[in-house]
Chain A
Amino acid sequence: MVAPSFPLLELPSDEIIRTLRLINPVQLLNLSLLSKRAKSTVISCKLKANRIGIYFGNEIKIDFHFPSSGIYLKFSMDHGTGTRKIIQKPMRISYFEVRPCGNPGRWFRWINFEYGLMDWVDHFKCVFNQKDTFVEFGRNTFDSNSIYENLKDPTIIHIGTTGSYEFNRQVLKSILPTKELHLDTKAFENWRVPETILMQNIDRLELNNRVRYFKLNELLCTNSKEVVLYSGTLTGKDMNNFLKLWKAGSNSRLEKLFIEFPDREIYDFKGIDYKLVPAEENQQRAFKSRSGETEFLSGEGKDICRFDGIRGTVCDNDGHFYFYVWHDHCIG
């Protein structure tokens, strides 16, 4: 029996958009692939994905997240049998909707010989009104040059355990994110992040997975607005020295520094002039982060002043080190 049809695109334009806003994201994706007109109609309903995640591992996977659902896609391609896996035009894309209750929806399969990976990513960015891409690398991944050729301006890059120091070095040599770099220190020889990476002009640098080697010199090399370190090897004395050097002008772009210490470190402010701000007063102070979000300080604060008059506040929360720099645009 032939299913009854409905001339969707002949409705008033407001009602086409109203209808599309009621359709789930995976079906909107299906619609967007049917024609140029269908694609532009889907774009006009302004469905926005929280982010577009691209994973390069054994295979290429892409996911999007929406407030109450998501889409998960797998790209199948003939990438040859050699040691270097080269990204080719996908032969087949399989995808399904991730539903809030956890059970996956129906799998769809799309076969398109015209689109390369970059075309697909551009299509998703366009249809889901999201410019930011989060790129992650896993084991047995593709050739770094091939990735470079197929990836345009990723916003966030995460390098975890890819199993190849050489790949990690190569990929960071050719591709740098526009906003954030998340690094697992195990990704580098001797667990030591090269200074050439630390000194990049990236908005946010995050080092995680038990940072084994990260000393004061490494911290002074960073050039990011926000630096986040989990389980650093810095000591209380290092932090005292860092604050003294910051006052003298080092890390001038820094806006926020967070360091998670495994053991409670004592930074005694020896030799540093500071003004103690009681907790009641400190907690009223709002810091505007890079992303525009407002964060209220916690506990008592210690205000220090840089040579050019810029203030900074150190807060100790549960033994972790928070340092906020009050540039004009950071005052919330």
Chain B
Amino acid sequence: MSVENAPVVDVDEAAIPVEKKMYYRFESNDKKEFRVSELAIQQSETLNRLVEAMGYTSEDVENKPAIAIENIDGKTLKLVFQWCEHHKGEAIPVDDGSVPKIVEIPEFDAKLMDIDNGLLFKLIWAADYLNIVQLLNVSCKKVANMAQGKTPAQLRRVYLLPSDEEDEAAKRAAQEAQDPRAREVEEEFEERKRQGGNSFF
């Protein structure tokens, strides 16, 4: 039967059940609460698994306490959820392993990430914890763009890259902090070596 010949049936739109959108409540480590749609949550693999495992109904969402995200502050979480709401329903990109990887930053994301580097740093840590692949792609792209046109010396300053000597010093300091006797043993060893001893023991 063709579409043209199909019988016309009057439909009472009010009678069609409308699926109610569910909004989950999340709380940052500084006690700021956010309401986030179920579809937006799907951008985060971590949160999506969490809410699936919790199996909350609409009533539970309202009556139970907000889900605590203890290692992300309110300012960062606000950016994360703004990004998720804007990109809700979009496919999650699959990594093809290409290097260099091509990523474009959309206008919305560029505006959202017009923030200081401290907050961008926190945003990447949050996106990593919540496993939001595309947010990681665009935020890391913003960091990658900082390298454009820079000389090696400028790159060292921009990315705060320590020299080998600084890395060695930091490693030694970390070891000493872990084991205060390590330095004494090392000094004793060096002293014996100077004295021509073959064995430390």
Are these two chains actual partners, yes or no? yes
Give the B-binding residues of A (Cβ under 8 A): 2-12, 14-15, 18-25, 27, 30-31, 33-38, 45-48, 66-69, 106, 108, 110
**Cβ-closest chain B residue relative to A36:** B164
A-side contacts of B146, CB under 8 Å? 6
B-side contacts of A23, CB under 8 Å? 100, 144, 147
In the assembled complex, B46 has its CB within 8 A of some CB on chain A? no
Asked, given contacts A4-B117, A6-B120, whether A22 binds B140 with beta carbons under 8 Å apart, the answer is: yes
B143 touches A8 (CB 8 A): yes
Asked, given contacts A5-B160, A12-B125, whether A25 binds B116 with beta carbons under 8 Å apart, the answer is: no
Asked, given contacts A9-B161, A18-B137, A23-B144, whether A3 binds B154 with beta carbons under 8 Å apart, the answer is: yes
Q: How far is the CB of A186 from chain B (nearest CB, A)?
A: 40
Q: How far is the CB of B160 from chain A (nearest CB, A)?
A: 5
State in angstroms the CA–CA spacing of A116 and B86 once bound together: 53
A38 touches B124 (CB 8 A): no
B-side contacts of A66, CB under 8 Å? 100
B100 touches A25 (CB 8 A): yes
A-side contacts of B163, CB under 8 Å? 34-35
**12 A-B pairs whose Cβ atoms sit less than 8 Å apart in the complex:** A4-B158, A6-B158, A12-B124, A18-B136, A23-B100, A23-B144, A34-B163, A35-B163, A36-B164, A37-B164, A48-B99, A106-B149
0/1 string, B144-169, CB within 8 A of A gives 1: 10111111101111111111100100
Q: Which of A3, A67, A68 lies in contact with B157, CB distance below 8 A?
A: A3
Q: Which of A5, A12, A25 lies in contact with B159, CB distance below 8 A?
A: A5
Total contacting residues, chain B, CB less than 8 A: 37
B103 touches A22 (CB 8 A): yes
0/1 string, B128-144, CB within 8 A of A gives 1: 10000000110011011
Q: How far is the CB of A88 from chain B (nearest CB, A)?
A: 22
Q: Which of A4, A46, A47 lies in contact with B116, CB distance below 8 A?
A: A4
B141 touches A22 (CB 8 A): yes
Most B C-beta atoms less than 10 A away, residue of A7, A19, A37: A19
Asked, given contacts A19-B143, A22-B144, whether A34 binds B161 with beta carbons under 8 Å apart, the answer is: yes
State in angstroms the CA–CA spacing of A244 and B60 once bound together: 87
B-side contacts of A7, CB under 8 Å? 121, 159-160
In the assembled complex, B101 has its CB within 8 A of some CB on chain A? yes
Q: Which of B124, B140, B157, B161 lies in contact with A35, CB distance below 8 A?
A: B161
Q: Which of B99, B149, B159 lies in contact with A6, CB distance below 8 A?
A: B159
B117 touches A5 (CB 8 A): yes
Q: How far is the CB of A204 from chain B (nearest CB, A)?
A: 28
A108 touches B125 (CB 8 A): no
B136 touches A30 (CB 8 A): no
> Knowing that A18-B101, A22-B140, A35-B162 are A-B contacts, what are 10 other residue pairs whose CB atoms are under 8 Å apart, sorted by A's residue number?
A3-B157, A4-B117, A11-B121, A18-B136, A18-B137, A18-B140, A19-B144, A31-B155, A35-B167, A37-B162
State in angstroms the CA–CA spacing of A14 and B129 once bound together: 11
State in angstroms the CA–CA spacing of A27 and B160 once bound together: 15
Asked, given contacts A14-B128, A30-B151, whether A22 binds B159 with beta carbons under 8 Å apart, the answer is: no
A6 touches B152 (CB 8 A): no
State in angstroms the CA–CA spacing of A3 and B160 once bound together: 11
Q: Which of B100, B125, B156, B157 lies in contact with A11, CB distance below 8 A?
A: B125
State in angstroms the CA–CA spacing of A110 and B153 once bound together: 10
A-side contacts of B149, CB under 8 Å? 106
B117 touches A21 (CB 8 A): no
**Cβ-closest chain A residue relative to B138:** A22
Q: Which of A2, A8, A46 lies in contact with B161, CB distance below 8 A?
A: A8
B158 touches A30 (CB 8 A): no
State in angstroms the CA–CA spacing of A18 and B140 once bound together: 7
**Cβ-closest chain A residue relative to B171:** A37
Q: How far is the CB of A279 from chain B (nearest CB, A)?
A: 38
B-side contacts of A3, CB under 8 Å? 154, 157-158
Most A C-beta atoms less than 10 A away, residue of B125, B128, B147, B162: B147
State in angstroms the CA–CA spacing of A4 and B160 once bound together: 10
Most A C-beta atoms less than 10 A away, residue of B101, B117, B159, B160: B159
State in angstroms the CA–CA spacing of A252 and B128 once bound together: 58
Asked, given contacts A4-B116, A19-B140, A22-B101, whether A30 binds B128 with beta carbons under 8 Å apart, the answer is: no
Q: Which of B136, B157, B161, B167 lies in contact with A15, CB distance below 8 A?
A: B136
A108 touches B152 (CB 8 A): yes
State in angstroms the CA–CA spacing of A19 and B147 once bound together: 10
State in angstroms the CA–CA spacing of A243 and B151 once bound together: 60
Asked, given contacts A7-B159, A8-B159, whether A22 binds B128 with beta carbons under 8 Å apart, the answer is: no
B147 touches A27 (CB 8 A): yes
B-side contacts of A106, CB under 8 Å? 149
